[in-house]
Structure 1
Amino acid sequence: MKNPSQKKSQTRNLVVIGTLVLLVSFIAFRLYANKKEINERSEAVPKGITAMPVKVASAELRTLDKSLRFTGSFEARKTLPLIAEAQGSITQLNIREGQSVSRGLVVARIDPTAVQSNLATATASYNNAVKNKERYERLVEAGAISQKQYEDVALNVENARASLTSIQQQMKYTVVHSPMSGIIGEVKVEQGSFATMGMQLGTVVDISSLKMVLKVPEEDVIKLKKGQPVSIQTDVYPDHTFQGKVTLISVQADAGRKYDVEVEVKNTSAFSLKAGMFGTAALDAQTGDQGEKLFIPRKAIVGSIKDAQVFVLGANNQVALRKVEVQNASGENVIVLNGLTPNEKVITTGQINLQEGQTVRVVD
């Protein structure tokens, strides 16, 4: 027979167990209710909302635009330095920046005092050598000296003549002439400053014609030819079109894989261009491609141009990854050679996370 304390303990255990059973039942009921609510909400949401949002573009037939446009800056066709070839103080400076000069114009004079002194000495030495040679000619004819002695004296004359010629040339160098007709680009010295041999006094530029330097990408440079005509527009003369021609196509690309293309443009007084101005050059691609071509946006390409793929929008808004053959075209589009037909839609935005057969939602 159980004592009262045992009965009390047994009752307490039954209460605890009952409480736990009720608690577990309540939790299970709440979980079931929550799951049912979640399922009901999921069923209430349209399935299309979960589709990947994308943007599309149609493959379009267009007439191939053969016009290529590039911006570039004008540069002087030729720039030559004005070099001092004598040493001394600049006693006369006849140029200023922007001044027109003709070939042979005296642009500067250098103090000739030191050269004049050397010239006088060299002239006297040469005259003495000539007189000495004449005297030795008479002596060798009389047999008073040997032929070898005469030849040594004759050699002295040649040496004296060479020295005199050199100093005479130095005297000419004290006068600096413009090597060509043009415009003085810059003046680097002042009258009274000291010039050394090889010092650059300034520059003269020939702007009777200018060259426009274009940076052309590799896919376009192969479409250009030397000698082809070029039309050029500038901001400074918006109503005038300049005509030029391609004179140089570089064979070496720069670090950005672009090639220098030089265009020669004749300068006129009516529409005078200056080095440093900018313009836009229009050239026709020198290719045999004619007629209509199939174009898609370049950004639709998945992978590289050489191994290109695109996501094509199909029935029920499902996408298919398709291999295509394309070639570069100028601007934001590429030409499709194989793999697509006109009006097929390709994904242009949102294709990074797409997979074959996935359903998408087209957005504007």
Structure 2
Amino acid sequence: MKRIVTVLAIISTLGLTAWTLLDNKKAVEAKVYKPDADQKVGVRTATAEFRNLSEETQFLGSFSPNREIEIRPQAGGQILQLPFEEGQFVGTNHLIAKLDDEQLRYQVEALQVTLEGYQNDVRRYDALVKGDATPAVNLERAQLNIRATEAQIKQLKKQIANTTVTAPFSGIVTQKMVEKGSVVSVGSPIAKITDISSLKLVVDVPEKAINQFRVGQSLPIQTEVYPNIRFTGRISMIGAEGDAAHNYPVQITVNNSTANPLKAGMYGSIANLNTLKTKTLAVPRQAILGSAKQPQLYVVENGKAILKPVEIGATTNQYYEITKGLNPGDQVVTSGQINLQNGTLVTAQ
């Protein structure tokens, strides 16, 4: 009897649990939003039509110096002369710094005395060897001493020459790093010289436009500091590798002007007229969905949004050329696609 009561209790409990779960399921389903299949979604549309896709694209960059170098001496010592000021123009081989070379000159003088002694030994040994009064090895040793001493003198003279530091090219001293009387070591920076007789404008060009440029091509350059003046530059380099955003560096060299001087760091831009087909079927960029390899768009047909694959060609900042999948006059959705599925009823604005 007890077993029957226990079984009935378990069955009652399971039945109550099942009823509770079913009731909760109905309550949850009642709260879930179910879109009305007959409700129309408001969207904005545009007409696919033939357009003249041509635009002038501006690529902005900044000017960098033609050449720039930090002057570093190949010798160390105290600076005795520093005949320049920051901002001064210096020509090629202009004296930048003169280091103390007194100790080196003393060493050269001592070696020259030693050399003179070896030369006298050679003359004496030469006479004695001819008279068989001394072995020839003494003469050879004296000759080798002369060669070794001459090599030491050359080395010291090279070190003395290194104490005179000159400018390798003409330019402006843009940074003075030491003062007269300072003690510098080999390789310590003394000054920075910048050559802006010509400048390099580096701009980043996107992948879709990089093939419109070539090395040696002349381009007009516009600057913010001289908005009404056009400079002419020539492409000197096109990058072989793009960055993560698929932009490629293009370097344009422009000669500086005395009447309208440019400075490194100024902004400049190049204008490239990208003329496409005079008449091509195009839609606004906002209409395209998906990736560039598999573009899609919604076309409004009989009050419904129909998702269609298309093929795109040339692009501008506002339009995509459609090469396949669309007809002139088709109404394409340009806004509201997030609320659409294939076949959704729409009302076009």
With normalisation by structure 2, the TM-score equals 0.83
Distance 1:164-1:351 versus aligned 2 partners, 3 A rule: same
CA contact (8 A) 1:215 1:259 kept: yes
- Whole-Å separation in 1 of the counterparts to 2:237 and 2:111: 50
- Whole-Å separation in 2 of the counterparts to 1:137 and 1:53: 114
The aligned counterpart of 1:167 is: 156
Deviates more, 1:211-220 or 1:136-145: 136-145
1:132 matches 2:121: yes
1:96 matches 2:85: yes
- Whole-Å separation in 2 of the counterparts to 1:361 and 1:237: 51
Amino acid in the other structure paired with 1:205 = T
CA RMSD after TM alignment:
2.3
Amino acid in the other structure paired with 1:294 = L
The aligned counterpart of 2:311 is: 325
Q: In the alignment, which of 338, 346, 353 is matched to residue 332 of structure 2?
A: 346
Structure 2 portions without partners, runs of 5+: 1-35
The aligned counterpart of 2:300 is: 313
The aligned counterpart of 2:286 is: 299
Residue 188 of structure 1: CA displacement?
Answer: 1.2
With normalisation by structure 1, the TM-score equals 0.79
**Higher Cα Rg, which structure:** 1
The aligned counterpart of 1:245 is: 234
SS in 2 for 1:162: helix
Residue 182 of structure 1: CA displacement?
Answer: 1.2
Amino acid in the other structure paired with 1:83 = R
Distance 1:227-1:87 versus aligned 2 partners, 3 A rule: same
Structure 1 portions without partners, runs of 5+: 1-46
CA contact (8 A) 2:284 2:319 kept: yes
Residue 103 of structure 1: CA displacement?
Answer: 0.3
SS in 1 for 2:180: coil
- Whole-Å separation in 2 of the counterparts to 1:136 and 1:59: 106
Amino acid in the other structure paired with 2:81 = Q
The aligned counterpart of 2:167 is: 178
The aligned counterpart of 1:207 is: 196
1:336 matches 2:322: yes
Residue 228 of structure 1: CA displacement?
Answer: 1.0
CA offsets 1:218-273 (integer angstroms, 9 cap, x no match): 22212211111111111111110111011000111223332111000110110100
Distance 1:191-1:58 versus aligned 2 partners, 3 A rule: farther
Residue 209 of structure 1: CA displacement?
Answer: 0.6
Q: How does 1:1-364 map to 2 (within 5 A)?
A: 50-65=39-54, 67-284=56-273, 290-316=277-303, 318-327=304-313, 329-363=315-349
CA offsets 1:91-141 (integer angstroms, 9 cap, x no match): 221222221111011111112222222222233333333333333333333
SS in 2 for 1:153: helix
Amino acid in the other structure paired with 1:218 = E
Distance 1:293-1:124 versus aligned 2 partners, 3 A rule: farther
